[in-house]
Structure 1
């Protein structure tokens, strides 16, 4: 009996101890709880089962300045790679869905004691090694209370660089935190490494050229031309000046205004050229003449005038330019779905794309983490699917993936109203840019699925079962278990339901209606069609479909073929990512198809691109190891970005891209782990050309417009250079097939020297001219890191671009301007300054 009484007392005592916190207690804990995340190793000696080959080891530490005894709470946090093994008796960690995890106290948890840290070590799948991949905004929750974001897990802004800081994340100091495995040879790109590996600028003034480089630029005799006197535009009758408004406005911002006393500038559509964007530009003291085949050519000629000048010098020599683009498709892909980008950001990006003659904006409007376009009659798509918060039922919002926190009004949430989208379409058209909308399906569709389930529940509650089923995207009887590439268990449309295609048909018609209203025709629709992971295996409707069509080769292929036919019937060109497009049968596809070839070059990416081009599709190159701008500029812990396809994509690498000869990069580049690789093209020769090139800004790790601009500029300029201009040093494609590796030597010394000289031209234009233009436009471009070495006579330092002011920090902690004529000693750190000195670049220590 005594034992029973003691047991009852113990249970009662535990129940009292485990009482739920009050709202005040929860709020206080959220304000005061200190959370510290440490990446211990990205390549631990051993990994627990079932992921023995690859894992990473981390530690979370909690501490409070007071005692806190409640056990009835949870912490929800985003962890890109699922946690599968935990070494803690006091806490459990559960993977919820996607990147969302839950920490709960166990029965052994005795509460937080004042200033006494408690740690959890855990193992996660695969690798997660750049600081940007460690998400903020941990949420403290308890049943019946208002959840709070834990203050110590919020981000901050560095006052000097204006870049995001992560106070909750411990410093990365060792190669154990930089390299993903024992065979990973990724270098730590510190100041010393940059000094040994980067190209030192040699030009002291900007060359007479522009970005992108024209086909031909010839100096003429005669006086220099002072463009500050403005332009007196003389338009032929068949030219609509309204179409040139954006280019004229850019010239005016540079000080080249339009007025009757300016240089007579004749614009004519009389150029005999096959290329519809071709133009000639002749600039002389008394006369400027522009000839083109279309208004687009006139527009680009005016942008070339803007490209020729520096903001502090509007005088140029008399010259003649003959020009036409290399590719018809020169694009930029912007993901606004994972984390939202404001309408202002899109409009600003359109301006800069047009300034450098890019002409396609691939707008990624829906994915797992967000639906970003208002659709008539389907309000849940934006009322639920455009915001994230902590509602585990997901009837009000999506789960708070990617560290979204609780504020549904924050910058990572949101959508474009129909008027917003129409404004974007018109603004793009005014800059000769085609908008290609994409609402990713059938994978990457979780936002749509959740929103349509919320719609289903609403209408069922109103007794409207027929309407509820009309656009439902899932089948309750489908018991398929799968995990997507982003670890979702429920992000794929059921491709065997007729309601899925009714939904797509509805969305297509509504998107097209917005284009009609904007008087901007919808020409191309990108269906996505990528990354479907094992869905539909146990779907009754799919089993029925398979029985009805025994020859059905692939459910994903079936979906793509059916949706492609819908798109083509409506008069639009269909586009999709190459991996999904591999699943179709060619005879079942429309005649007019675009494929974005995105396999990494070091993994045989040229094979997919060649195969799709050879079968008559329009291939847009989307190689992640050079065109994905959400990857870091350099492999350094402080440099934000993803890591799976490349550890470093700086503007020089983008500039060096030879898009017509994909396998040749095996001679000059290395794999993601910094190893040499080979590319054998002897069995996969390309017989038809690519139509273009596209840069990509995925947004999983990008939480602000400012950070997005940091990732875009100046890489966008290098992208424009390669999309518009084919350089003489680019290795011609061998149509007979060839093998390439570090020893084959096709890219010979002469070509290397030509490339080096061309880079010096490009770098000087960026450093002396284009950074200032970006700054004038208010764009948050990345300031280059400083290459530096402490030598016996003092510090030697430079940046990739000339004309950039370098600062150094002396032994007293003071920052001073670097002068290479009077070399400093005892230097601690180096950094760069923006054109107006307002912003500082990322500092690097000097050894």
Structure 2
């Protein structure tokens, strides 16, 4: 191992003396001066600290993995001599060591840290730059790891956001990640996304003639038979509705009008219900038949949802332009899975009601029927609950209140103010509106109130309630819904670096009172909206102390290894281990061990759910891992979102869960988490603990029923092949869900960028089983060296799907106002000739040879000659937006 030598650009450089802040300046004036004038810049020195000689193991880095970052502060204003100030900044990695003795860093909670002067601080001269090298845990591979909106507090001042960091684009305060720092380890085998590598990847996807795509419906039906004719919708349609409720017909006609189809026209479309018409195999909710002829279209639904989907398929054939010609055909169709879901996390960052409604529109268009609404997490409670105002008044707001009695402390780049998506909630009326909107589109809303972990917003809010009522003398009321044992001294660190206040205590009667209250109120809202609550999502994930994980070893161990962090494990506790109430429960034999408490709590909550007539209980699978099987729960159905990564054993464990009787909803993070980056490029958005990239093509190629098969068609997080096989045979999987977690997603535009267009590929896989998907067989092992998957058929189907997106479906997203990700094109220059391509043919491509001053349209049939630096970009279907610009 070579020794790492720090290379500092200039540790402390005095550029000018200038004027100085007056000793008589108030705290607020000092804070204002620093906020207005202090520039911040991050430079990643190395992501491979252990390989470069940093003491990662001794600094207690998990898996002995750490990085080195230079934070440079530049004073662009008058000199500052005060030592009474703190900069609050966000770091999603724990900071382990600071290598400048004029400063210290303190972890506050979650990703919030403070940087403040030590006694050795010499002040900031005017124009001075100070470099503060610090060592962080793990690595920072994508630019969005560096969160915005650090803020400063001086003495008793109001907090002020640093102007140099008040940007959504991290390039404003970050040097580009360079060299091989895009690699997690030096042996990382991923392929960096460059113009050239994209060009190579896109080579097998060529433009398909529009005529060859006629009759293609997304998602793909069971059977489509073209009958050789065509019909024009240019004069609009006249709908004879004998199947849909008025609200559902209204939802469908609004989409028609958005696509430019007049619904007061002349072409007749008849909707009827006739369940007896369907074969036994197709007697499922959502099944339909579609018959398009020159004279009329007839849609027969097995149920109302089927008739609605038949109408969506008719619209799928249409384009958004003036061309309104569609082919005549006969379609027989039924869904692959009962559960075709999208999960949206609004706890980490809030997303507007309008963004949710737009998402529901697209779910309906592509026949997805379950909206999993992740309404709460450590960072936010987003649903108004009558009778518990603190949940949203405190738990739904972030601001700089160290007591956290008026709000939660800032997280995830939200800064000190409440005027951004770090704060926000849905009123009762908002939620009723969302329920009604979903019902009109055949979508079930599944609310998730995450517990017992990821519950900090609820715990802090109920502590604020306890304080308010206690001070008013109402001790009984104060304790009625309290969620933490005040005598619990457990030393716990959660996955997102919160302490014991992240957990609802499962041993307190008041915790169950709280659950009962919340479920009662949410169920009442569903009843009022005419959508009875049929599924309650408990959450249940990650109820653990990460410091007790396998990446650490005891500091006093005799047989230490180099690849684990040294930690005094005697000071670490399991959640609730030092709660007197839980100690009593363990001693009485209610539950055998502290690790079993989350599953025990899930079983208790399921009884509350069943008592309210709610038939289905749902959770992330690890929340139920200590329960015997599905029979341990009180509801008729017990469903789990399965989120093990395949290369860490998920290809086997999914079938073990199915064998225990659970309804399995495949939700794998390495394939259908939409918070993962689209590609291996530091400028992309997303977390990447499960995979470095999931683009639309990868999601399209996912085999959700035969999970081991994916080992033949994809790689692990480090770009390496892996093997996978299952041994158990359980009941068939119940569904597929695509997830959008929001840690890095602070705005509605960012939300839609991450979800669209790849969610259309998830819709395809949830509705349609492709011929290249092999049936699961216990004991059959797949890897990069096996040749069992028809990869030619897979490639051909992807090429067709990609063309449908590029030539038709993305234009529909434009018309709906969806800010989808425009794919970055591939490009290469050979012998002075520019060649370009794109993953979704049909989108326009442009290039510039004058640093973006002017752009020219690329024509494949007339490849241009270029000299010097060339920039390329792709254009959205409506011509109004562009991909990221890439230089060759």
Length-normalised TM-score, structure 2: 0.90
1:225 to 211, 221, 231: 231
Alignment of 1:426-465 (within 5 A): 426-465=436-475
- 1:29-66 residue CA offsets vs partner (Å, 9 max, x unmatched): 20111011122211121332133620111111111123
Displacement of 1:239 in angstroms is 4.5
Distance 1:655 1:407 in 2: 40
Does the aligned pair in 2 maintain the 1:330–1:358 contact within 8 Å? yes
Partner residue in 1 for 2:105: 93
- 1:511-541 residue CA offsets vs partner (Å, 9 max, x unmatched): 1111111121000010001101121111111
Distance 1:310 1:431 in 2: 21
Partner residue in 2 for 1:767: 806
Distance 2:290 2:835 in 1: 42
Distance 2:119 2:59 in 1: 27
**Aligned: 1:541 with 2:581:** yes
- 1:553-582 residue CA offsets vs partner (Å, 9 max, x unmatched): 511121111112211221221100011111
- 1:453-508 residue CA offsets vs partner (Å, 9 max, x unmatched): 00011111111111111111111211100100111112011111111111111111
- 1:223-267 residue CA offsets vs partner (Å, 9 max, x unmatched): 42001222222233x653442221122112222222363335353
**Aligned: 1:601 with 2:601:** no
Partner residue in 1 for 2:787: 745
Displacement of 1:730 in angstroms is 1.1
Does the aligned pair in 1 maintain the 2:772–2:793 contact within 8 Å? yes
Alignment of 1:230-629 (within 5 A): 230-236=236-242, 239-259=244-264, 261-270=266-275, 271-273=277-279, 274-312=283-321, 313-489=323-499, 490-533=501-544, 534-549=574-589, 552-553=592-593, 554-572=596-614, 573-586=616-629, 587-590=631-634, 591-629=636-674
Q: Secondary structure at the match of 1:653?
A: helix
Partner residue in 1 for 2:765: 722
Displacement of 1:737 in angstroms is 2.1
Partner residue in 1 for 2:3: none
Alignment of 1:775-814 (within 5 A): 775-792=814-831, 794-811=833-850, 813=852, 814=854
Displacement of 1:28 in angstroms is 2.1
Partner residue in 2 for 1:688: 731
Q: 1:392 and 1:301, CA in 2 relative to 1: closer, same or farther beyond 3 A?
A: same
2:753 to 710, 714, 718: 710
Does the aligned pair in 2 maintain the 1:783–1:834 contact within 8 Å? yes
Q: Secondary structure at the match of 2:448?
A: strand
Partner residue in 1 for 2:194: 190
- The 10-residue stretch of structure 1 (261-270 or 379-388) with the greater mean CA deviation from structure 2: 261-270
Displacement of 1:296 in angstroms is 0.6
Q: Secondary structure at the match of 1:401?
A: coil
Does the aligned pair in 2 maintain the 1:80–1:128 contact within 8 Å? no
Does the aligned pair in 1 maintain the 2:48–2:67 contact within 8 Å? yes
Displacement of 1:550 in angstroms is 6.0
Displacement of 1:322 in angstroms is 0.7
**Which consecutive aligned stretches of 4+ in structure 1 deviate over 6 angstroms post-superposition?**
16-20
Distance 1:401 1:670 in 2: 33
Partner residue in 1 for 2:29: 24
Length-normalised TM-score, structure 1: 0.94
Q: Secondary structure at the match of 2:131?
A: strand
Does the aligned pair in 1 maintain the 2:618–2:638 contact within 8 Å? yes
Q: What is the aligned residue count?
A: 815
Q: Secondary structure at the match of 1:599?
A: coil
2:121 to 109, 112, 115: 109
Q: Secondary structure at the match of 1:499?
A: helix
Partner residue in 2 for 1:46: 53
Q: Name structure 2 gaps, 5 residues minimum.
A: 1-20, 545-573
**Aligned: 1:818 with 2:858:** yes
Does the aligned pair in 2 maintain the 1:47–1:54 contact within 8 Å? no
Does the aligned pair in 2 maintain the 1:552–1:558 contact within 8 Å? no
Displacement of 1:449 in angstroms is 0.6
- The 10-residue stretch of structure 1 (328-337 or 251-260) with the greater mean CA deviation from structure 2: 251-260
- 1:389-416 residue CA offsets vs partner (Å, 9 max, x unmatched): 1111001100101111122132331000
RMSD: 1.7
Q: 1:551 and 1:239, CA in 2 relative to 1: closer, same or farther beyond 3 A?
A: closer
Q: 1:266 and 1:123, CA in 2 relative to 1: closer, same or farther beyond 3 A?
A: closer
Q: 1:132 and 1:461, CA in 2 relative to 1: closer, same or farther beyond 3 A?
A: same
Q: Secondary structure at the match of 1:842?
A: coil
Distance 1:758 1:212 in 2: 12
Q: Name structure 1 gaps, 5 residues minimum.
A: 1-15, 157-163
